[in-house]
Structure 1
């Protein structure tokens, strides 16, 4: 993910937050990786509904990079994250849960949360 892509993502996210939008925002890279999220103004959190990497691009760190970007942005603007875990694309629930836990998310069911942290993560 280039600095320009991160900036575009950040700008889209900032506009969504500024408008207190609860509508779904889709961010898709040219390689087909997609991140769908929305802002929950009641809980002041970002809700990740989908983090998708095409099957042929999996296990290359693409999902990790996208998640690091949104975690860094969330940390910088002091907002919590919630992810709705689903194995609809064929990855086991346990693998997905472990993936999100490795990035600071907690929870036992299909809803996992991550409290913002006061530190910078390396995105680039």
Structure 2
């Protein structure tokens, strides 16, 4: 049986290795890489769900940043902030203050995935 569960460490290492913002579906493909032909549709859905859950927690805890449906390691924020199409420093400081007061029980939807 192919691997369908991934840790936060694996997720962040993968994001750092790419060194650019990527969408959830691309991250899933990178993490399951050569196993994709071995995975059944259910295993692929399980892997996608696991990665999405781990990613949501990583965003909540500040290890990963999300922008327009793309994710990147928070440690690479300064590296890519000049490539984003808006004033990133202002956006992230506003987003951090909003997330600090927002209800932690609300879930984020990934409509674009």
Alignment TM-score, normalising by the size of structure 1: 0.34
Give the strand-richer structure, 1 or 2: 1
Alignment TM-score, normalising by the size of structure 2: 0.36
Answer with 1 or 2: which has the greater Rg.
2
Greater relative contact order structure (CA < 8 Å, 6+ sep)? 2
